Structure 1
């Protein structure tokens, strides 16, 4: 059988004194001896870069994570002290410094009814920290309690429609709710069941959380007392069971409430640590909805969304960042970064693992003359193509395209509009 033209194989094969095919025919002990004969310094440059690290503390209770860490093939780092994500005030200062406006964003409408504060996270033990290297240089950060991984055990794909709950508890934020309500489920090949809730009470919101569904997109105010609802607040600490698989809590200081949902049954979600400006939250919310709808995992959706607006850097993950809510219509979810040089287009595809493209699987970009397969997750590196090939590439499906730091979508992008 002729092996697939795997790009990594082409890089590794010259390092062996014998052909890889001849090694396959040898006993396992002999194969291992041949593999170990290659100096690590020669092999290191071609080792697949998963762009994924797990940081654990040197404590006995973290051993319970080991089966899940091993399954993720994560690079593991032992931390003597646990580093926490930036505090709310640090994030505000970062944005103020970046814009050089001297304004932290609190002069605009924010999704919080209280002054900005640093919440004390819910006591969930043990915890690990997961990091994904992002496309813009800032790590995607996740706080993952053990419950996130245990809650995923036994969950299998189902044939029923994908259940999405959209909760908007502030009429002033209806712009986002209207967009995401139209976005989730706009794919003809996948059945979705989207339910939109407006200004619901604490008891009604509790019922939403206890009803089995695939995803919750919450739009509204969150503070130290919990989710603001009609007639009061619902604290996640008072919820006995969350039957929401994954969630996006698009409100201020939602990190602690997200951890409560993980502790009581959810697997993963996107949250914030500090106050967020409403206009920026709408941009991020719309982007996240579109990306998750296209089969991106939580960490991949947040990676791309951070290119939409600086506010995107105020979002983090709790639980398992690899969680997805839908299948991709491509071999693997991907984002394409394109540069134009000397009349040619340089395309770099960044591929994410997903339901149907798990870590270590392979994918080909179907781009111009390229017939190589690449390991997922990973990047192709810059591939030079001509304009007709780029037009044909855009017609293959719906995927995000980054040009000059801005995010576009292939089904709406034209070459003349991008340059």
Structure 2
């Protein structure tokens, strides 16, 4: 209330002071949210979900709580009990949170708050920053360096080019002023601080330099109500030199046995046909070609997304230079989410980004999580941003909740022992409060399904046995190694469009369905655009057995920092 100190109260007599300034209030409220949600999940193991929850074992060894009694207690009685637990005991079970949303404190942010709360995101109030942020050198502050290049033919390594619609040469200030820039100008960006979360989002007038920018139109355009059907994906390539990405992502989108996918591939699409494709209903619209502030380059001219009255695409991937403004226009026209670039991007790096995004989206990761992984593990992923709703998903995973293995082989171990960490990424169907099981020896029971969910040490043989039939991304020694492929067959569900999305209450304590092993013997590894391997091709596909033999035979996998490539030597 105005002029009163922020506080939490309940009928049981609780009065908890939240702080004296917005920063302190948001931190305290976030701590309470994590505490209450986690402990309530533990309490619910007394009811319909009698699972062996890891967090319950830990908290029972550190706090005296009667979970059987709490299950039948009122909400205010539960809250009082949860707040009585020491901070040290709670800290022992609090995971990395799924999302932090930074909110600019103004009236325009109010309409997005219900969607932020629905996601159970932590909220941070944006505070003024004395030092203004400008785009990084690899983004739109590289004009001086780029002026020495002529697009398509004179890049440093001779085999790369930029994906800008302006192929005449460097842009002049007059061209940028006329709208060809296609991205926010200097002073229109906001830095996001490092946080302990799987992803970050921003609500405000400026553009974050990473993460996602929430746009109200994205949440009003579509209801993710699902029905049995086919995942419809449209891939458009308007430049012959970019066919590599067209071929690669078309195969990726159709690689799962358990998903019915209709991939519509188009090449050299005219402005009229592109407008029609954007208007049609698609789960994914993936554009590969030249873009700038004027629009999409087509054989007969340029199509400006601002002239598109309506789009039926759920997620839009605009893999070209300076596609930010075009992405905003498509979200305003009806898209749920758009992945866009914040500067000029080279073709080789863009191919890597496009392939990695396609793999993650097609294996159940949300647009926001996919982009965070791409940002961390690809060469130029930091030059891309999500606009709209980062929680959009295209397919379901076999286990319900997307997950990932981080593998750390021990090259000095003759038995091929490796450390394996298991990470979970909640989605709308299995959101914060759901639980997950890794099925790896040494990681016992169910875990609160957010972030790190235990680690173990395994031999390569045991890991190979447990990996078979499961569809999960692999990170090996902090390098992206692609997605394992399973062979289970089942139907998936597809979105149907309507005008507004309801804001349901969050479900707590949901259990992820168990997986059963199925037959599979392959894992595909894509180490980016450059791989140094004797007698091997540019893209280095490894069978699962060969991948594990690489580890067993003491191959050393290392990352070349300057190019984000992988060298495999022995």
Interval containing the TM-score (normalised by the shorter chain): 0.7 to 0.9
Within the alignment, does 1:145 sit opposite 2:194 as a pair?
no
Within the alignment, does 1:415 sit opposite 2:415 as a pair?
no
For residues 26-59 of structure 1, the C-alpha deviation after alignment (integer angstroms, 9 at most, x for no partner) is 4444333222212345424433432411111111
> 3-state SS of the aligned residue for 2:69?
helix
Within the alignment, does 1:191 sit opposite 2:260 as a pair?
yes
Out of 80, 90, 93, the position equivalent to 1:46 is 93
Aligned residue for 1:11? 58
Within the alignment, does 1:209 sit opposite 2:278 as a pair?
yes
Whole-Å Cα distance in 2 between the matches of residues 231 and 388 of structure 1?
56
Out of 30, 38, 48, the position equivalent to 2:77 is 30
How far did residue 400 of structure 1 move? 1.6
Whole-Å Cα distance in 2 between the matches of residues 84 and 190 of structure 1?
46
Whole-Å Cα distance in 2 between the matches of residues 307 and 121 of structure 1?
23
Whole-Å Cα distance in 2 between the matches of residues 250 and 86 of structure 1?
22
Aligned residue for 2:291? 222
Question: Rg larger in 1 or in 2?
Answer: 2
Aligned residue for 1:340? 409
Whole-Å Cα distance in 2 between the matches of residues 406 and 76 of structure 1?
31
Aligned residue for 1:275? 344
Aligned residue for 1:375? 448
For residues 287-342 of structure 1, the C-alpha deviation after alignment (integer angstroms, 9 at most, x for no partner) is 21122111111122223334553212212111111211111123422221111345
- Which aligned pairs between 1:85-234 and structure 2 lie closer than 5 A? 87=135, 89=137, 91=139, 107=156, 108-114=160-166, 115=170, 119-121=182-184, 133=197, 141-152=211-222, 154-234=223-303
Number of aligned residue pairs: give it: 405
Whole-Å Cα distance in 2 between the matches of residues 22 and 249 of structure 1?
53
How far did residue 150 of structure 1 move? 1.6
How far did residue 88 of structure 1 move? 5.7
How far did residue 205 of structure 1 move? 0.6
Whole-Å Cα distance in 2 between the matches of residues 159 and 84 of structure 1?
48
Within the alignment, does 1:353 sit opposite 2:422 as a pair?
no
Whole-Å Cα distance in 2 between the matches of residues 159 and 241 of structure 1?
25
Deviates more, 1:209-218 or 1:25-34: 25-34
Within the alignment, does 1:55 sit opposite 2:94 as a pair?
no
Aligned residue for 1:294? 363
Cα 1:355–1:184 change in 2 (3 A) is: farther
Cα 1:158–1:26 change in 2 (3 A) is: closer
Whole-Å Cα distance in 1 between the matches of residues 209 and 66 of structure 2?
39
For residues 233-266 of structure 1, the C-alpha deviation after alignment (integer angstroms, 9 at most, x for no partner) is 1111111111111111110111111111111111
How far did residue 404 of structure 1 move? 2.2
For residues 39-94 of structure 1, the C-alpha deviation after alignment (integer angstroms, 9 at most, x for no partner) is 34542443343241111111122111121111011111111448998526464779
Whole-Å Cα distance in 2 between the matches of residues 351 and 291 of structure 1?
13
- Answer yes or no: is the 8 Å Cα contact 1:85–1:141 preserved in 2: no
Cα 1:84–1:72 change in 2 (3 A) is: farther
Whole-Å Cα distance in 1 between the matches of residues 155 and 336 of structure 2?
32
Whole-Å Cα distance in 2 between the matches of residues 84 and 257 of structure 1?
25
- Which aligned pairs between 1:380-395 and structure 2 lie closer than 5 A? 380-395=453-468
Considering only aligned residues, what root-mean-square deviation do their CA atoms show, in Å? 3.1
Whole-Å Cα distance in 1 between the matches of residues 351 and 396 of structure 2?
24
Whole-Å Cα distance in 2 between the matches of residues 333 and 326 of structure 1?
10
Whole-Å Cα distance in 1 between the matches of residues 117 and 155 of structure 2?
43
How far did residue 145 of structure 1 move? 1.1
Whole-Å Cα distance in 2 between the matches of residues 132 and 171 of structure 1?
42
How far did residue 187 of structure 1 move? 1.9
- Answer yes or no: is the 8 Å Cα contact 2:284–2:316 preserved in 1: yes
- Answer yes or no: is the 8 Å Cα contact 2:402–2:424 preserved in 1: yes
Whole-Å Cα distance in 2 between the matches of residues 85 and 209 of structure 1?
34
Whole-Å Cα distance in 1 between the matches of residues 322 and 420 of structure 2?
37
Whole-Å Cα distance in 1 between the matches of residues 381 and 308 of structure 2?
28
How far did residue 12 of structure 1 move? 2.4
Q: Unpaired runs of 5+ in structure 2?
A: 1-46, 146-153, 200-207, 485-521, 524-543, 556-570
Whole-Å Cα distance in 1 between the matches of residues 240 and 253 of structure 2?
20
- Answer yes or no: is the 8 Å Cα contact 1:327–1:356 preserved in 2: no
Cα 1:312–1:90 change in 2 (3 A) is: closer
Q: TM-score, normalised by structure 2?
A: 0.65
For residues 358-377 of structure 1, the C-alpha deviation after alignment (integer angstroms, 9 at most, x for no partner) is 22211101112433211222
- Answer yes or no: is the 8 Å Cα contact 2:59–2:89 preserved in 1: no
Whole-Å Cα distance in 2 between the matches of residues 346 and 268 of structure 1?
36
Cα 1:121–1:22 change in 2 (3 A) is: same
Deviates more, 1:286-295 or 1:242-251: 286-295
- Answer yes or no: is the 8 Å Cα contact 1:338–1:348 preserved in 2: yes
How far did residue 349 of structure 1 move? 1.5
Cα 1:298–1:402 change in 2 (3 A) is: same
